[in-house]
Amino acid sequence: MEQNPTQEGVQPIAFKAETRQLLDILIHSLYTEREIFLRELISNASDALTRLDFELLTNREVLDPEAELAIRIKIDPDEKTLTIQDTGIGMTAEEMVANLGTIAHSGARDFMTAARQGEQNISDLIGQFGVGFYSAFMAAEWIRVTSHSYRPEAQAAAWFCTGADTFTVESAEKAGRGTEVTIKLKEDAAEFLQETRLRAIIRKHSDFIPFPIYIGDQTEQANRQTAIWRQSPREVDKKDYDEFYHQLTLDPEPPLAQAHLVVDAPAQLYAILYAPASPERGLFSPRKEEGLKLYARKVLIQEYHRDLLPEYLGFIQGVVDSEDIPLNVSREAVQSNRIMAQIKKLVTSKVLDMLKKLAEDDPERYAQFWKGFGRYLKQGVAIEQSSPEALYPLLRFHTTTQPEKWVSLDEYLQEMKPDQKDIYYIMGDDDRSAMRSPHLDAVRKLGYDVLLMTDPMDAFMLLRLDQYKEHPLSNVAAAELDIPKEDEAQEQSVPQVAEAERQPLIERFKQQLGERVADVRLTERLSDSPARLVDPEGAPHQEMQRVYRLLNREFDMPKKVLELNPRHAILVRLSALPADDPRSGLVIEQIYEDALLIEGLHPDPASMIARIQQLIEAALV
Domain at 279, CATH number? 3.30.230.80
The CATH number assigned to the domain holding 144 equals 3.30.565.10
Closest-CA residue to 89 (of 44, 133, 144, 51): 51
Does 440 share its domain with 565? Answer: no
What's the confidence (pLDDT) of residue 410? Answer: 97
Render 518-573 in DSSP notation, one character per residue: SEEEE-SS-SS-SEEEEPPTTSPPHHHHHHHHHTT----PPPPEEEE-TTSHHHHH
Cβ neighbours for 293, distance < 8 A, ≥ 6 positions apart: 248, 300, 302, 303, 304, 305, 318, 319, 320
Does 351 share its domain with 371? Answer: no
2 found inside a domain: no
Closest-CA residue to 80 (of 194, 216, 213): 194
Does 202 share its domain with 85? Answer: yes
- Mapping DSSP to helix (H, G, I), strand (E, B) and coil, where does residue 206 land? coil
Tens of pLDDT, residues 311-344: 999 999 999 998 877 654 322 232 356 888 889 9
- Mapping DSSP to helix (H, G, I), strand (E, B) and coil, where does residue 396 land? coil
Cis bond upstream, residue 266 (ω within 30): yes
493 found inside a domain: no
The CATH number assigned to the domain holding 449 equals 3.40.50.11260
Closest-CA residue to 458 (of 482, 425, 436, 432): 425
Cβ neighbours for 520, distance < 8 A, ≥ 6 positions apart: 506, 509, 510, 513, 561, 562, 563, 564
Identify the domain boundary among 334, 361, 388: 361
The answer to whether residues 335 and 326 touch, using CB atoms and an 8 Å cutoff, is yes
* Residue 181 belongs to domain spanning: 13-215
Does 368 share its domain with 345? Answer: no
Amino acid code (one letter) for 295: Y
Distances (CA, A) of 454 to 350, 435, 458, 462: 30, 11, 7, 12
Does 167 share its domain with 242? Answer: no
The answer to whether residues 41 and 223 touch, using CB atoms and an 8 Å cutoff, is no
469 found inside a domain: yes
- Mapping DSSP to helix (H, G, I), strand (E, B) and coil, where does residue 582 land? helix
Does 280 share its domain with 140? Answer: no
Tens of pLDDT, residues 39-54: 889 989 998 999 999 9
118 found inside a domain: yes
CA distance 305 to 327: 14
461 found inside a domain: yes
CA distance 604 to 583: 22
Domain count, the chain: 4
CA distance 453 to 619: 37
Does 199 share its domain with 98? Answer: yes
Closest-CA residue to 438 (of 242, 592, 228): 592
The answer to whether residues 586 and 614 touch, using CB atoms and an 8 Å cutoff, is yes
Does 19 share its domain with 153? Answer: yes
CA distance 426 to 475: 6
What's the confidence (pLDDT) of residue 156? Answer: 96
- Mapping DSSP to helix (H, G, I), strand (E, B) and coil, where does residue 605 land? helix
- The CA-CA-CA angle for residues 460, 289, 258, to 5°, reads 80
- The CA-CA-CA angle for residues 440, 444, 449, to 5°, reads 90
Render 227-268 in DSSP notation, one character per residue: -GGGS-GGG--HHHHHHHHHHHH--SSPPSEEEEEEE-SSS-
The answer to whether residues 426 and 451 touch, using CB atoms and an 8 Å cutoff, is yes
What's the confidence (pLDDT) of residue 408? Answer: 97
296 found inside a domain: yes
Q: Tell me the mean pLDDT per 10 residues along the chain, length 621.
A: 53 77 65 80 92 90 93 97 97 90 53 57 49 83 96 95 89 94 95 95 90 93 89 93 90 93 89 94 74 86 88 95 64 52 93 97 96 96 91 97 96 94 94 93 92 94 94 92 67 80 96 95 92 90 81 78 95 92 94 93 92 91 75
323 found inside a domain: yes
34 found inside a domain: yes
This prediction has a pTM of 0.75
